[in-house]
Amino acid sequence: MSYPCQPTTGEPQGSILGPLLFSLAAQIQTTLTSKLEALQCHFIWDMDTSGSKLFRLRERFEDFATEDGHSWLGHIYNLRGFIEYKLGFTEEAQSFFNKATEAFCQMRNADEGPWLVVNYGNLAWLHHHLGDPAESEAYLKKVDALMKKYPSPFQDELHPEICAEKAWTLMRFSKDKMPLALDYFLKAIEMQPDMVEWNTCHILGLMFASEHSSTAVGAIILEKMRIAKEKDPKNLYLAVHYLGQCAKKGERIEDEARELAREVLRNPVSRYSGIKPLLIVYRNYLSVDEAIDLSEEVLENHPDERYLKGCAALCYRWKIFDNDSLNTTQSLMDRAISLHEEMISLYPHSSLKKKIDLANIYAKSTKGQAKAEQIYQELLERDLEPADKQMLYNNYAKYLNFDRKEYQRSLRYHMKAAEIPQQSFFRENSIKVLEKIRDKGRDRMCREIEKFLEEI
């Protein structure tokens, strides 16, 4: 006797359902993945996420201000969340993505809006990687609802909020992405011209992109900076850079720089508070000593801020190398060494350049030559990435030339820097040194250098 609910012929029911369920699950997974790949968020934007760079970026973004009301706070948290995820810290990533949600809602004074599309996209990807497809799908639905409710003003264009966040992210993530970032900012501003902070960031990007020489930026960019400064009067970072560009044109800016310093000192400490570019203005157009005094004053007000220790270290380094250590006191040298050693411990993943700087400071002291060589030898034994090797070889070549007077070894290390096939300032600098030696034709290595330059 057979029962209606049981199969009377063929394979057992379980052997049929198994493949069907597996096939259905695979289809669901494929659909989910295709939806995720169509999102606009950090997980699908083309960014270099090599481990060492991520650790350095993490340290850099830890110095960004996170006080309430910061116009880019949501974007900062979104990027920090992505960096934490790529480094393998998923709990920290989710915490930052959640903070980004809160920051956007607070800044825009609304519970929802197109500014959350990137943030929800990040959360959809994160939950996908955490093995939570239901939560991932929930965020995908939120993204879809926002995009339907808040379509882009221009058909076939990303929403201006997405363009702006993508621009800001690419600009902060890599200098190579600056042209693309500027294009996205321009698109965002064209669609939504009333966003002051977007315009300010775009103008600063234009300035950075044009600052490949010591000359002032073009008149058009300078005028745009002036207009942006009027529209964004509280942005001291912009104000300081505008002042620096005016000084490059030959304007007297000493009194205005000192007045601006008082304002910067009253603001919260941040990588974008304006203190570092202001110290550069002081060095170039007032004096290195005034720059040191200002850096020490701001550090005294905020003694635990590591970013300010870095600013002070920079000023002391200027003092030592601008004067070529001729009038440098031992107490000043000791302070410079102390600050650099602190920076190395405070920024362990960004310490290579700081160790090179420390070695060069020791090299300027008659009692520090052995210490300088020891630091360099320890660095030369490290397994470094190509770009870091270039920087090290180029700096060691200069040290050998100017401090050790070992000219032939110096040229060998310039050749080591130049033969690494990666475009950088350090490679170009080493090539220029070698070309100069070749063109003079006096050194015994001239023919070897000529052949080397032909082959690289």
How much is the pLDDT for 18? 58
Torsion of CA 143, 145, 148, 153, to 10 degrees: -50
Report residue 51: phi and psi, to 5°.
-55, -50
Q: Between the CA of residue 249 and those of 219, 243, 252, 282, what are the distances in Å?
A: 10, 10, 9, 16
Cα separation values, 386 from 40, 66, 393, Å:
31, 34, 10
Q: 28 pLDDT exceeds 90?
A: no
pLDDT digits (tens, 9 = 90+) for 205-228: 999 988 754 455 788 999 999 999
User: Is the pTM of the predicted complex or chain greater than 0.75?
Assistant: yes
Is a pLDDT exceeding 90 seen at residue 441? Answer: no
- pLDDT tens digits, one per residue of 410-428: 999 999 999 999 999 999 9
d(CA 145, CA 164) in angstroms, rounded, equals 20
Question: What band does 48 get if pLDDT is binned at 50, 70 and 90?
Answer: confident
Does the pLDDT of residue 12 top 70, yes or no? no
328-374 pLDDT tens trace: 888 999 999 999 999 999 999 999 999 999 999 999 987 899 999 99
Q: Confidence class of residue 26 from pLDDT cuts 50, 70 and 90? A: low
